[in-house]
Amino acid sequence: MTDADKSGIEAERVTQIACADCRKLLDVSHLPSFSEIKCPACGMAQIVPARFGGFWLIGRLGFGGMGVVYHAMDKDLGRHVALKVMKKELSANREFVQSFKHEAQAAAALNHPNVVQIYSFGQVESQFYIAMELVSGGRLDEMIADGVALEETRSLEIHLQVVAGLRAASDVGLVHGDIKPANILFGQNGEAKVLDFGLASFIGQQQQGGAVWGTPYYIAPEKARGKRVDFRSDIYSLGATFFHVLTGQPPFDGVTSTDVVMARLNQPAPNLLDINADLHPETAAMVARMLEVDPTMRHPSYPALQIDMEAALEASRKPLKKSVAAKKAMFDSMSPRQPKFSRKFLVRAGIGLAAVVVVAAIAGGGYAYHRHQLRIAAEAAERQQMTEATAKGEATFGRINALAGAIAQLGEGVQPLAERINKIAAANSNLNTAAARAALEIDKALDILNDTEDTQAMADIARQHLQAATNYAAIQEPSQQLDFYFNVLIEGNNVIQECKVNAEQVIAEAGAILAQAAAAAKRAREDAARAAAREKAAKAAQQIAKKQATEVERMRPKMIQLELDMVDRARGANGPLIAQRKFENAAQSIVKIKGNLTQPETQAYFKNVQEAYEAMVKLKAFVIGAIQKAPYRNGWTTSGTPRDIIKANATRGLTITLGTAGSINIAWEQVSAAQLVKIANYYLGTANLTDEARADMMLAMALFCYESGVFKTADTCAAAACQVNPALTSDVRRLMPGFAEE
């Protein structure tokens, strides 16, 4: 074990690692975790990790009173995460354990681009942990270090994104409880992300009971007083954060934390324009409202805050036209003042004043002025005026809610890089001709022709000799010689003709042989050149393939991370379809990204999500088929009266009988998760099913509740499924991380 003496966190040391570059095994048994070592083979520096359950701890990211945050990698998925490990002694607190589990489950169900995603949670040797999205784009507190104020427009853009994340959390019942610059991170593309949802909430629960918990510079007054908190407390903390970002200093300061809190309780927030006169009055008025001491005077909802913030953002993009003095005077006229009427009257006028605040949110920065005027008029107002103000406020609030919307993005997939290999052929050389051999054959032929000339000379001599003879004897001898010479001449001519034919044939054959030899030699050189080129290309291809394999292995964790995020985004985008019980549409929608998944780990993760959707499709089909066979008597309660469920349709929903009044159709999105589970359980108890089929339906109900965020019911259904069919335990652990643990 290591690090237990420093932070209270126990993790297993490793004795041997493989170099990330050359894969050489390195002995690190003598080195502490998170120290640096250089590979003796390739010289690459790397960190000695530690082992914590199913994670490799790569380095520390931060410390806190509750534990340590590590940069870690999920060994099974190859995904880089931020791993928050709680101190071991906290596991002895049963209240902490229950709060940790429930808050972590709720936060894990929150999937929003402006909230740091929680992937999983669990326990390793009595140490609880949360694995969450690793965000590497910096923190807001680092951007305003040393009193540096951010530009107004950029600050508004950041806080609009934070409000979007807080709104999504509020929609599922989560209150952050510790909004501050250090809990606002930035992704690679500069998007703001809120950190520690759920975790901040249950830490706060552990420290309640008279103690003030929270960062003193940003804590809401009601929280400092130990009173109940809600989303408006987060709005106050966000306002204090915004004040700090725009001015370079928090709204309240002091020597001690107590001084800071007391200043907040006893003094109004400073005027933004007194500190930074270059701000637009719309921004200053909005922040002043966020920092109201009375929660009822703050924005009544996140949509109302978004409207004010969007108006301030639009104004910030235009140049200021007023002088500094005029701008401050305008803001002073908009600042809230102490009301002059009694507390008893405030109780009577609560609904009417809340409506006036909502109306003022639509009017932008002038809400405080209208509120002040209404307070003065309220001293003499009658009940009829309050009724009219309430009606007006309710109508306006309805218009505000109609403006709300949500945006989900799918990320884009990543395309592979291809490389080409060019082959270079060797140059060709010329063959030597056979001219010498041809000339030799010609010389031989000329020698034969020369013999012909000698024979002719012999004939000429014979003729001369014959003409010169003067007697018979002399004539007789040359005549004999002449016959001899003529015979020789005839034979010589025959030889000459034969030799000429032979010479021509030899020359022709020699030329053909030389041409064939030259062609064969050329082919041999070309074959040799091609063989050399192939060998060279093969070696080059092997080297490139080796480099590519190394690069692919190095990039694989990043690819896994990108693909896991792609699946998570698609899963989050299917949330509205699950809420409408359109399970088949959700299953069809997520299949669109299947072709973009290349890694085995992400393909397995995708298969789990797809399997859960398919199980929900079967659950809905089972319920519809069962209702069609036999109505559910008194299965639906409306206005306190039990009614029969008589029909079910895949698209239109359930048909409920109203007795003599006929029947009514209930859309699927109006059928709550609890109601659907109740109907399914009823028919599971009456249907003639095998234990295996019944357990499968129970698991489908568990998956439906898990995907809908109803974790307590999901746990109950999963346990029932495993009890009927213990073989499903491994499926529950695979499809519902954190459930059915040993």
> Residue 162: which CATH number?
1.10.510.10
Q: Are residues 241 and 118 in the same domain?
A: no
**Three-state SS for 46?**
strand
Tokens 């590497």 belong to residue = 136
For residue 9 the two structure tokens come to 């966190």
Q: Are residues 329 and 394 in the same domain?
A: no
Q: What sign for the dihedral angle of Cα 541, 546, 551, 557?
A: positive
Q: Are residues 474 and 491 in the same domain?
A: yes
> Residue 83: which CATH number?
3.30.200.20
Q: Are residues 580 and 687 in the same domain?
A: yes
611 lies in some domain: yes
| 189 or 409: which leads in pLDDT | 189
Alpha helix locations (H) across 630-738? 673-686, 691-708, 711-724, 729-735
What is the mean pLDDT of the segment spanning 607-623? 95
- Which positions are annotated as active-site residues? 178
Q: Yes or no: say if 230 and 175 are a contact pair by the CB < 8 Å rule.
A: yes
Which of 296, 312, 335 terminates a domain? The answer is: 335
**DSSP code, position 144:** T
561 lies in some domain: no
Q: Are residues 580 and 708 in the same domain?
A: yes
In this prediction, residue 520 has a pLDDT band, given cuts at 50, 70 and 90, of confident
564 lies in some domain: no
How far is the C-alpha of 11 from the C-alpha of 83, rounded, in Å?
A: 12
Q: Are residues 471 and 517 in the same domain?
A: yes
How far is the C-alpha of 663 from the C-alpha of 649, rounded, in Å?
A: 14
469 lies in some domain: yes
66 lies in some domain: yes
Q: Are residues 440 and 521 in the same domain?
A: yes
Q: Are residues 162 and 282 in the same domain?
A: yes
Specify burial of residue 110 (Cβ count, 10 A radius: 0-12, 13-18, 19+).
Answer: buried
412 lies in some domain: no
What is the mean pLDDT of the segment spanning 259-287? 87
* Region of poorest pLDDT, from 25-34, 37-46, 276-285, 361-370: 361-370
In this prediction, residue 489 has a pLDDT band, given cuts at 50, 70 and 90, of low
How far is the C-alpha of 519 from the C-alpha of 462, rounded, in Å?
A: 54
Q: Are residues 81 and 159 in the same domain?
A: no
Q: Are residues 466 and 484 in the same domain?
A: yes
How far is the C-alpha of 693 from the C-alpha of 618, rounded, in Å?
A: 11
293 lies in some domain: yes
In this prediction, residue 630 has a pLDDT band, given cuts at 50, 70 and 90, of very high
Q: Are residues 147 and 192 in the same domain?
A: yes
pLDDT reading at 359 higher than 50? no
Which of 278, 307, 335 terminates a domain? The answer is: 335
Which of 133, 159, 183 terminates a domain? The answer is: 133
Q: Are residues 47 and 161 in the same domain?
A: no
274 lies in some domain: yes
In this prediction, residue 493 has a pLDDT band, given cuts at 50, 70 and 90, of low
Q: What sign for the dihedral angle of Cα 94, 97, 101, 102?
A: positive
Domains contained in the chain, number: 5
Burial 700-736 (b: 16+ CB within 10 A, else e): bbbbbbbbbbbbebbbbbbebbbebbeebbebbbebb
How far is the C-alpha of 427 from the C-alpha of 362, rounded, in Å?
A: 82
pLDDT reading at 699 higher than 90? yes
Summarised one tens digit per residue, pLDDT across range 315-341 is 999 987 655 445 455 445 444 444 443
- Domain of 548 in residue numbering reads as 435-556
